[in-house]
């Protein structure tokens, strides 16, 4: 079986974890600080605040940006549900704008349309989906025009750039995930990035029970702290990230050159895309037949995401609009195929050969 994803962990991570365990300081400490500073520098931000997950990082980012109860935050209907759940956790309310057919990212045209239709939107939360950068030229023009707070969900975008500038460095605040399937991992974990010292201070307090001074709690906070064990893994992974992303891009290039099946539409390539997923579209309602064919030939795949966020059952009482033309089309066609950096040339050839044999 050729798996859809596989974490790239080796002796470096094992040795780093052993060193932390031997030190006796396995909770949040100096290793976490080193990871925060190193990752923030890598991603073009002044401050990093490490957390327990990408979801908690996103929640903290929203709260630290001063958003909360009753605020409207415009976002995408096509993402993992954490993007909008994090909004809901703060008491704010998501408003959804449709996506682009080619990039799967939120559409700048639909953003502006929704802003004109819906008064009172304070913030925009974008997702650089599958490692593909949003069109930041258009988005920053809209952000400035409508004076929005921009939050970047970079859960799938470690190392993604737009015209050379790192994803996560455009907005007031951003959030990354280090779940095992991501381009780099800490096992579980996340990080909030910002270059605003006040946002950084609030985020730091929020993850640590509202404390600046030990046992003096200035605000209601949470225990969202990363451990030294997770951070030790993250430091090793960050050293490998450029190489791992390079292999993802190389693998994607192989597919662009070798997948020759008219039943599929390949993803749009954008400079700066780091291919967290390589997501094709299967036309004419034939996705189930295609995925069955992959299963028979032992090729792993993923369907991200079969439902839009606003039509999820847990949101059924929220009275969200549930019809989005592009999202509703895309969600029924997408299939992601293996692109992770541990794939061998033989495995890439096997994936391509199997897909090229598929017939409607």
How far from 47 is each of 41, 42, 50, 64, 356, CA to CA, in Å? 8, 11, 10, 13, 47
The span from the CA of 234 to the CA of 241, in Å, is 10
- Which domains, from first to last, does the chain contain? 11-236 (3.40.640.10), 241-357 (3.90.1150.10)
The span from the CA of 240 to the CA of 234, in Å, is 10
Handedness of CA 12, 17, 23, 25 (dihedral sign): positive
pLDDT tens-place string over residues 96-149: 999 999 999 999 999 999 999 999 999 999 999 999 999 999 999 999 999 999
The span from the CA of 255 to the CA of 241, in Å, is 21
Give the residue carrying structure tokens 């980012």.
Answer: 61
Q: From the centroid of its chain, how far is CA 210?
A: 27
- pTM here is 0.97
The span from the CA of 45 to the CA of 194, in Å, is 6
- From 221, 158, 227, select the one nearest 188 (Cα to Cα): 227
pLDDT tens-place string over residues 259-272: 999 999 999 999 99
* Mean per-residue pLDDT, 318-327: 96
Q: Does the pLDDT value for residue 187 go beyond 90?
A: yes
């Amino acid at each position: 079986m050729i798996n859809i994803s596989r974490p790239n962990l080796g002796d470096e991570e094992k040795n780093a974890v052993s060193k932390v365990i031997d030190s006796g300081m396995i909770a949040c400490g100096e290793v976490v600080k080193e990871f925060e500073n190193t990752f923030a520098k890598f991603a073009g931000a002044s401050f990093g605040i490490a957390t327990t997950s990408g979801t908690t990082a996103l929640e903290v980012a929203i709260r630290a940006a001063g958003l909360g109860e009753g605020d409207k935050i415009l976002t995408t209907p096509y993402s993992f549900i954490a993007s909008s759940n994090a909004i809901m956790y703060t008491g704010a309310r998501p408003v959804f704008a449709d996506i682009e057919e080619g990039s799967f990212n939120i559409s700048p045209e639909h953003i502006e349309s929704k802003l004109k239709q819906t008064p009172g939107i304070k913030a925009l939360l974008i997702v650089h989906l599958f490692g593909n950068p949003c069109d930041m030229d258009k988005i920053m023009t809209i952000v400035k025009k409508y004076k929005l707070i921009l939050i970047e969900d970079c859960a799938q975008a470690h190392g993604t750039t737009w015209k050379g500038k790192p994803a996560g460095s455009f907005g007031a605040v951003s959030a990354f995930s280090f779940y095992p399937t991501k381009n780099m991992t800490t096992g579980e974990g996340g990080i909030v990035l910002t270059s605003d010292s006040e946002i950084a201070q609030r985020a730091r307090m929020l993850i640590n029970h509202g404390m600046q001074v030990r046992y003096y709690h200035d605000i209601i906070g949470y225990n969202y702290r990363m451990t030294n064990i997770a951070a030790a893994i993250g430091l090793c992974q960050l050293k490998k990230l450029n190489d791992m992303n390079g292999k993802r891009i190389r693998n994607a290039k192989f597919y662009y050159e070798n997948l020759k099946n008219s039943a599929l539409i390949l993803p749009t390539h954008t400079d700066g895309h780091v291919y967290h997923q390589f997501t094709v579209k299967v036309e004419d309602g034939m996705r189930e037949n295609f995925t069955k064919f992959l299963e028979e030939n032992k090729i792993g795949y993923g369907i991200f995401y079969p439902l839009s966020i606003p039509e999820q059952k847990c949101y059924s009482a929220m009275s969200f609009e549930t019809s989005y033309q592009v999202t509703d089309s895309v969600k029924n066609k997408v299939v992601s195929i293996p692109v992770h950096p541990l794939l061998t040339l033989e495995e890439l050839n096997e994936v391509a050969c199997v897909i090229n044999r598929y017939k409607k």
